[in-house]
Chain A
Amino acid sequence: MNEELLRVEHLYQYFPAGGHGKNKKYVQAVDDVSFFINKGETLGLVGESGCGKTTTGRSLLRLYEPTKGRIIYDGKVLFDSGNVPLTNEDGIEVMENGKPKFGKKTTVDMKPYRREMQIVFQDPYASLDPRMTVGDIVGEAIDIHGLAANKQERYDKIQKLLECVGLNSEHANRYPHEFSGGQRQRVGIARALAVDPKFIVCDEPISALDVSIQAQVVNMFEDLQQQMGLTYLFIAHDLSVVKHISNRIGVMYLGKLVELADSNELIFHNVHPYTRSLISAIPIADPQAARANKRIVLEGDVPSPLNPPSGCRFRTRCPYATKQCAQEVPEWREVNKGHFAACHNLDKVN
């Protein structure tokens, strides 16, 4: 069970945003994020819009070339920028002559790995080519990777995939606009499954759907995971759905992971002040509990990732912020077994 499938170390993703030379500005979308995903598990990633969860998902598939960091998939290094320290199995930096040892600069051809790592996009209205039939959308990956020997096999494969996601075979000849949002999302999932992947990044796959349809799609993700032994990185801003589907959950704020733990541990025994306010802000669909719930309302808005606050990025909205928070970036440390958080004032908060 606890076999590691994917490991991300010190991932940085900066996007240039105007300016020249010295004044060149960067959107610091993802800043020093490290985590791992075990085989067959679901890691949830939550946070507000603009916190870098989608960018993290795309960078680790190398849809964006990461600025810095290392991505290891199934024991093979897919990307290494050559300037982030290596760590051993216990997460301690490997030292050489008193200096941290860096990895070797590596970039591999992703095509063989695309067969193993896939993505389902957020917006089922924008992520399907309106001029291709559903059959061709699903079949495109089969063609590219040469997974079907002849036309008949290709056809059979497409039929099987569509059935697998709860569509029927006559749908293959239709165009995306003929489908509802929930059905389109199923097409998107069928496309991801076409290459028999092991790992799927689900980038807010249900947030564009109606409430009564959401449950259908969530159940389908769970069924597919059981049938095919898939591993998911499930990105969403709706914590109640993420809690439902994930084994572990990571919370992001302004490009940084602030807390990561087992899902029940994170919901009921969270330690980071941001996680706490995020959970209390979720409207509870139960009037009695809602009346009893004391919301921790955060002041102000999320700062701009162009110019994030020094030290801890959450300090401008944190009720516990001290001087130290402005000066030092809090360390990402294990507070309990498998429960990580980055905060200077954990003793005060708890």
Chain B
Amino acid sequence: MSEFLVNIEHERLSFFTPVGEVKALNDVSFHIKEGEVLGIVGESGSGKSVTAYSLMGLTAYPGKLLGGTLDFNGHRINDMTEKEMQKMRGNEVSIIFQDPMTSLNPVYTIGNQIREVLKLHTNKTKKEIQERAVELLELVGINEPKKRLKQYPHELSGGMRQRVMIAIALACEPKLLIADEPTTALDVTIQAQILELMMELKDKLGMAIMMITHDLGVVASMCDHIAVMYAGNIVEYGTTDDIFYRPKHEYTKGLIRSIPRMDTTEHERLIPIEGTPVDLLNPPKGCPFASRCDNCMRICLREKAPVIHFDDVHYSTCWMNQKAELEGGTKQ
């Protein structure tokens, strides 16, 4: 097929709610190679989770895919039936959710929930499944795995539960692991443990990771590539260094400017992005960021900016770059 594990092209997806059509994704395109870590950053409501869910076919009613193609590991997601989808989920692609407190079933033991995946997707015997479950808990760094298998989620701490979630997600050694804000609900020291664990397992199992987060700090240390989303659009895509050191979209620049720095002793005033995110019920005609942008031009309000490539990977959709090009300068 293609060289990419994931290849999404021009995806458009809307939710048809009683108050109107919410345009969650507007022309989203990106790809992930095998073993790569892609970070998707954006504010709440920017469409980062929806992108991931659509890849797993989890955006059922009232969500509707309006256009574009989604390819994953040789499957065309658009054409798959629910049955085929079930076979794929948990086997080739799996997901870790944000809140480990609510994503495990409280009335089943940990062991039950890990074995369920293995029962569904493998032909192992009961004994083999049990052995594999123990092995998985060891893999994610949980001590006394045999005892833990018999425990219920409420008996474990947040960090432990997230480890269990990872164990469940990795049970069938998926090609792609989607991590939807995996550490947002955790404390910093526990977050450090979980991120370390994910990177270690990535190297061990050679899977790709799609890391969804709003924390720029998390993507800086983990990801190869970063996609910045705003109001259902990828506004900028590039390598981690591109995004942090050579940001081209006004939103990315603003985002990076607005985080307080830890490494200076001087007190600098924060530079916030003024205004509030757009309402996806009736998104603006032009650039979605125009209303909050300091360098907004007349064309920004009228038309969406085209995709401008700076090199093979790095691209962005911002009229400012077009302007710089026309003026013949390399103004940032």
Interface residue ranges, A against B (CB under 8 Å)? 48-49, 180, 182-183, 210-216, 218-219, 222, 237, 239-241, 243-244, 264, 267-268, 277-291, 293, 295, 297-298, 301-302
Contact = CB atoms under 8 A, between A and B. Distances in A.
Interface of B: 43-44, 157, 159-160, 187-193, 195-196, 214-218, 220-221, 240-241, 244-245, 254-256, 258-263, 265, 267, 269-274, 276-277
A281 B193 CA distance: 9
Contact of B259 (A211, A216, A281): A211
A281 B192 contact: yes
A244 B266 CA distance: 9
A290 B259 CA distance: 15
A215 B263 CA distance: 17
Given A212-B258, A243-B260, A285 B187 contact: no
Contact of B217 (A219, A237, A282): A282
Contacts of B240: 287
A280 B195 CA distance: 13
B189 A283 contact: no
A215 B272 contact: yes
A267 B272 contact: no
Central interface residue in A212, A284, A286, by most chain B CB within 10 Å: A212
18 contacts: A49-B187, A183-B276, A211-B258, A212-B43, A212-B254, A215-B259, A216-B274, A240-B260, A240-B261, A268-B265, A280-B192, A283-B191, A284-B221, A284-B262, A285-B220, A285-B256, A286-B244, A302-B157
Contacts of A302: 157, 187
A285 B196 contact: no
Contacts of A180: 276
Contacts of A291: 221
Contacts of B218: 283
A302 B43 CA distance: 30
Nearest to B258: A215
Nearest to B264: A264
Given A48-B187, A283-B220, A285-B216, A212 B272 contact: yes
Given A212-B254, A212-B258, A290-B221, A301 B269 contact: no
Contacts of A267: 262
Given A237-B188, A268-B265, A298-B193, A215 B270 contact: yes
B260 to A, nearest CB: 4
Contacts, number: 126
Contacts of A243: 260, 262
A119 B241 CA distance: 41
B166 to A, nearest CB: 16
Central interface residue in A182, A239, A264, A286, by most chain B CB within 10 Å: A286
A239 to B, nearest CB: 7
Nearest to B141: A299
B133 to A, nearest CB: 22
Which secondary structure characterizes the binding site on chain A?
helix
A285 B259 contact: yes
A281 B216 contact: no
A180 B216 CA distance: 22
Central interface residue in B187, B189, B267, by most chain A CB within 10 Å: B189
Contact of A218 (B191, B265, B270, B273): B270
Given A48-B188, A210-B214, A211-B258, A283 B221 contact: yes
Contacts of A222: 269
Given A211-B214, A212-B272, A285-B244, 10 more contacts: A182-B276, A215-B258, A215-B271, A215-B273, A218-B270, A243-B260, A283-B195, A286-B263, A290-B220, A295-B196
B217 A283 contact: yes
Contacts of B191: 281, 283
Contacts of A282: 188, 217, 262
Smallest CB-CB A-B distances: 4 pairs = A283-B217, A215-B272, A290-B221, A244-B260
A41 to B, nearest CB: 13
Nearest to B262: A240
Contacts of B276: 180, 182-183, 213
Contacts of A286: 220, 244, 263
Contacts of A239: 188, 262
A15 to B, nearest CB: 20
Contacts of B263: 284, 286, 289
A293 B195 CA distance: 14
A89 B211 CA distance: 53
Contact of A278 (B189, B221, B274): B189
B187 A297 contact: no
B258 A287 contact: no
Contacts of B272: 212-216, 218-219
Contacts of A49: 187
A295 B192 contact: yes
Contacts of A301: 157, 159-160, 190
A237 B261 CA distance: 15
A244 B267 contact: yes
Nearest to B265: A264
A283 B215 contact: yes
Nearest to A296: B192
B214 A297 contact: no
A219 B157 CA distance: 35
Nearest to B197: A297
B41 to A, nearest CB: 9
Contacts of A283: 191-192, 195, 215, 217-218, 220-221
Nearest to B195: A283
A278 B265 contact: no
A284 B265 CA distance: 16
Contacts of A264: 265
